[in-house]
Structure 1
Amino acid sequence: MLKIGTTSLLSNIIPGLLPLFLLGMISRNIEPQSFSVYLLIMAAIGYAGFMELGISRALVKAFSQCHNNPNCTALIFSTSFLLLSILGIITGFLFYVVPSVISFFIETSIEYELLFQSLRLVSISVPAIFLTQIYYSYYEGNLKFTNILFLKLSTLIIEISIQCYVVVTTNSLENLIISIIVTKYISLFICIFSMKDKLKLNLKFNRLIAKDLLSFGGWVTVSNIIGPIMVYFDRFYTSSVVSFSISSHYLAASELVQKSTIVPSSISRVIFVFLSRTGIDKVEKSYLSILLVTFPLSLFFFVFSEHILNSWLGIEANIQSIISFKILSIGLLLNAFAQIPCSKLLSQNRAKSVALIHMLELIPYLLLLYYSVDQWGVIGAAIVWTFRNGIDFILLLIMSNK
């Protein structure tokens, strides 16, 4: 399990570092206003990935339980391909329509018109994002993290190369968004090509499998909708209340911390597959593993927050963003610990418990965020985000031990 955990860690950390280079490149080549919009678009894409009704997590569990049955695997694959194709088209349509509806009823600023225009454009990429998750779920469910590492590196190098070239040569946000769409479909085709000798896609639809995927994913979906609100909403809200010049630094710090959650997530994903296969519920040693890999990272962010922001973004960070980055680094550690009891609950088919906890947290979080941002700006947003992660860990831990 240690070897698998290490491979999983590498398959997430190495690809996770590459987009940080891209962010630094983009911040130096487009206007601050456009950079803020770009970060919000990335947050929206991240949120879109959570709107696939929890099927990707359900697929990991399904593939792990059918890892010795090729026929079962093929049927799961084809059923999920059709399901996620439909969901991807629906979600992309919502991405296109919702900004138009908001603009029709509410007079918006130039910045938000730019954001809405970019959202309409990037909606084209949503089906590709959804379908790509099937391939990663297959490899993860079969504990083939080396394949995941190869796929992620291959697709990310292509994505980053194209996007860097576009942003350096054109300095255009619109062209950058178009390059995102193109590279997402290139990534999907690479994933399809990686499986051409392992699995033939016959597009057979099995209602029983679809029902199992949706029933497991049903409560996961609640978490997948509510969870990202508590992860990403602070970015959208602060950018609407605080000036774009200040909020852009906070958005960047928040994006870096969010990307860093892939470190503990690499361990929790292995734990989830292991618990799903064996039914063992002892996870005490996992907390030590999480501490060993996440604490040094959190400490590094806390101590060198100013230097990281200045050197990474190429501009002098303001004091509010530096302080908020330090606070977010504490939240990173709490978020890491929360992933262990969450994985334990999901492996026991107790997704409902996770969803109920997130439902319980939502309203207090939004109220606290509204008050804190009004009082302390981006620092208040960071405090509330970190506090919510602490409460999340405590509640999940209590529930997982029942």
Structure 2
Amino acid sequence: MRDVQWSFISLATSSLSHLLLRIVLGRELGPSGLGIYTLVFTIYIFGMQFAAFGIGSALTKYVAEFNDNLAKTKEYISSGMIGSLITGSVTGVVLYLLSNIISISIFNIPGMVSLLKVTALCFPFIAINKAVLGTLNGFRRMKAFAFLDVALNVIILLVSVFLVIFLDMKVLGAVLGLVIPTIILGLISIFFVRSSLIYPNRTFLQNNILRDVLRFGLYVVLGNSIGYLYTHIDSLMIGYYLNEEDVGFYAVAAIFIQGITLIPSSVQRVTSPTITKNHAKKEYGSIVKLLKSVTLKVFLLSSLFSLFLIVFGKTLISTIFDNMFLPSYLPLIILLIGYTIYSTFMSIGTFYSSIGYVELSYKIALFSAILNIVFNIAFIPKYGIIGAAMATSTSLIVLTLVHFFIIRHFVKGIWKLKM
């Protein structure tokens, strides 16, 4: 519970900072400016999956698994930091080179070119930050984990508000407010794992630790990137089929949806190392009890939060943003249905990687992403942002059913034979 508390504080601060920043941008820049920032931010988060390359998740697993072997954990952590620097730098260069194509050829927004080039600068640093957070999560040093995460989000909020409001830098100020703190916190985060870093030597390189970390991370990044694309393809396709103003309306609905993902996401950060440890000890019964308890409680809490937003959603949108953003309400209601059901799996979202079947995450995410893209292509041109919400909500429900069918296979089949 103490770990969940720190994880919750971390995610709550992140969501609150995100909400406050979107409120400021919505009021200062209007739906169009908020839409452009949302597209840049979505591309940034998608690129971050490749920059981090799943190394943080790999370190969470290996550090938790070899927690009693200090020499081994140091090799994994040091390899992870080296790998993060490489993958982050490569991703940054790729985004920089593709900024013209993405901005003009895909979204037809020339003003995005310089924004994406600025964004590309922070990828090596966010990759390092994610590797450090994965290490702290593996050690279950959740207080330090929360501190780094909270510091990053709060500083992004403060710097962005200063640049947008006081220096009147508009969307560029919001993007710089994201990039500058990310670079600074990425460098500071190294301090938290400095005692676990070692210099590469011949033995270090011969153990192929970096190869193992990258191999594990490959499946994670494939699953995470496809999963992220899956849950954000609606915003990108709204930008492609419609315009940046519609992206802004949809972004407001997405902001409130973050509230429903807050609890399952914070719980998932703790269930991940817990399932890993229990699986290593072959304590399958403990994992089953954890799954049942966590998913039921998360579903009840998510349902209550959704009911609150259904009743007070219109009032909240018009009060916090403005009446011009009321077109966000109906997509919000539709999204709540899918995310309430999907929140149950979110709470145990790293289940496959925790038990050594990380490739399953990628395969299921690929299936669901294709399904969501098909729905979006069918619904957005006809129903606009309401169609995007319908597509996402429907595919989330299907995805949740598929996940629990597979988990039931482990519980009723493989583990039952071993228990």
TM-score (ref. length: structure 1): 0.91
**Aligned AA (1:88):** G
Equivalence for 1:146: 143
Corresponding position: 1:35 with 2:43: no
Kindly state the Cα deviation for residue 102 of structure 1 after the two structures are TM-superposed: 5.0
User: Which residue of structure 1 aligns with residue 414 of structure 2?
Assistant: none
1:47 aligns with 2:55: no
The residue type paired with residue 87 of structure 2 is: L
Aligned-residue offset at 1:12: 1.7
Question: 1:61 & 1:121 partners in 2: Cα distance?
Answer: 33
- Are the structure 2 counterparts of residues 295 and 143 from structure 1 closer, same or farther at C-alpha, using a change threshold of 3 Å? farther
Alignment partner of 1:132 out of 129, 136, 149:
129
The aligned residue for residue 405 of structure 2 is 398
User: In the superposition, relative to structure 1, how do residues 259 and 63 fare at CA in structure 2: closer, same or farther (>3 Å)?
Assistant: farther
Q: What's 1:384 paired with?
A: 391
The match for 2:24 is 25
Residue 259 of structure 1: how far off its partner (Å): 6.3
Q: What code does the residue aligned with 1:158 have?
A: I
Unaligned runs of 5+ in 1: none
Q: Residues 298 and 332 of structure 1 are in contact (CA less than 8 Å); yes or no, is this contact kept in structure 2?
A: no
Q: Distance in 1 between matches of 2:300 and 2:100?
A: 47
- Please state how far the C-alpha of 1:384 moved relative to its aligned partner: 0.9
Question: Structure 1's 300 and 46: CA in aligned 2 closer, same or farther, altered over 3 A?
Answer: farther
Partner residue of 1:324? 331
Q: Counterparts of 1:60 and 1:139 in 2: how far apart (Å)?
A: 8
Q: Distance in 2 between matches of 1:350 and 1:361?
A: 18
Q: Is the 8 A contact 2:25 2:33 kept in 1?
A: no
Q: Kindly state the Cα deviation for residue 108 of structure 1 after the two structures are TM-superposed.
A: 6.3
Structure 1 distance, partners of 2:140, 2:185, is 21
Aligned partner of 1:121 in structure 2 is 118
Name the structure 1 match of 2:89: 89
User: For residue 373 of structure 1, what is the amino acid of its counterpart?
Assistant: I
* Matching residue of 2:215: 215
Flag the 1:258–1:44 CA change in 2: closer, same or farther, 3 A. Answer: farther
Could you say if the C-alpha distance between residues 259 and 57 of structure 1 is closer, same or farther in structure 2, counting changes exceeding 3 Å? farther
For residue 273 of structure 1, report the CA deviation from its aligned partner. Answer: 0.8
Residues 1:247 and 1:108: Cα distance change in structure 2 (over 3 Å)? closer
The 5-angstrom pairing of residues 128-277 of structure 1 reads: 128-172=125-169, 173-196=171-194, 198-200=195-197, 202=199, 206=205, 208-258=208-258, 260-277=260-277
C-alpha separation in 1, matches of 2:139 and 2:30:
44
Tell me, in whole angstroms, the C-alpha distance in 1 between the residues paired with 2:47 and 2:301: 28
Q: Is the 8 Å Cα contact of residues 84 and 127 (structure 2) preserved in structure 1?
A: yes
* Conservation of the 8 A alpha-carbon contact between 2:317 and 2:326: no
Residues 1:10 and 2:26 are matched in the alignment: no
| Superposition deviation, residue 243 in structure 1 | 3.7
Identical residues among aligned pairs (%): 19
AA in 2 matched with 1:113:
P
Q: Determine the C-alpha separation between the residues in 2 that align with 1:381 and 1:337.
A: 22
With over 3 angstroms needed to count, the CA separation of the structure-2 counterparts of 1:356 and 1:156, relative to structure 1, is: closer
Note if contact 1:331-1:387 (Cα within 8 Å) is conserved in structure 2. Answer: yes
Q: How many residues align?
A: 396
- Whether the 8 Å contact between 1:354 and 1:396 is mirrored in structure 2 is no
The answer to whether the Cα contact below 8 Å between 1:338 and 1:389 also exists between their aligned partners in 2 is no
> Is the CA contact 1:81–1:203 (under 8 Å) kept in the aligned structure 2?
no
CA distance in 2, matches of 1:376, 1:234: 12
**Deviation per residue, 1:323-371 (Å, 9 max, x gap):** 0011112222122112256432221111222222222223232121111
Say if 1:156 and 1:226 are closer, same or farther in 2 by CA, change over 3 A.
closer
2:319 pairs with 1:311: yes
Write the deviation string for residues 177-210 of structure 1: whole angstroms up to 9, x where unpaired: 22322111111133123344x4345356645222
Q: 1:349 is paired with a residue of what secondary structure?
A: coil
Q: Distance in 2 between matches of 1:267 and 1:352?
A: 22
Question: How far 1:3 moved relative to its partner?
Answer: 3.1
Contact 2:88-2:123 within 8 A present in 1 as well: yes
Matched residues in 2 for 1:107 and 1:393: separation? 31
Runs of 5+ in structure 2 lacking a partner? Answer: 410-419
Report the secondary structure of 2:110's partner residue: helix
Output the amino acid matched with 1:242.
L
Task: Report the CA distance shift for 1:293/1:7 in structure 2 as closer, same or farther (over 3 A).
Answer: farther
Q: Which amino acid aligns with 1:385?
A: T
Between the aligned partners of 1:214 and 1:200, the Cα distance in structure 2 is 18
Judge conservation of contact 2:83–2:214 (CA < 8 Å) in 1.
no
Report deviation, 1:81. 1.0
Q: CA deviation at 1:147?
A: 1.5
* Contact residue 31 and residue 245 of structure 2 kept, 8 A: yes
1:349 has 2:356 as partner = yes
Q: Which AA in structure 1 matches 2:222?
A: V
CA change 1:18–1:362 in 2 (3 A) is: closer
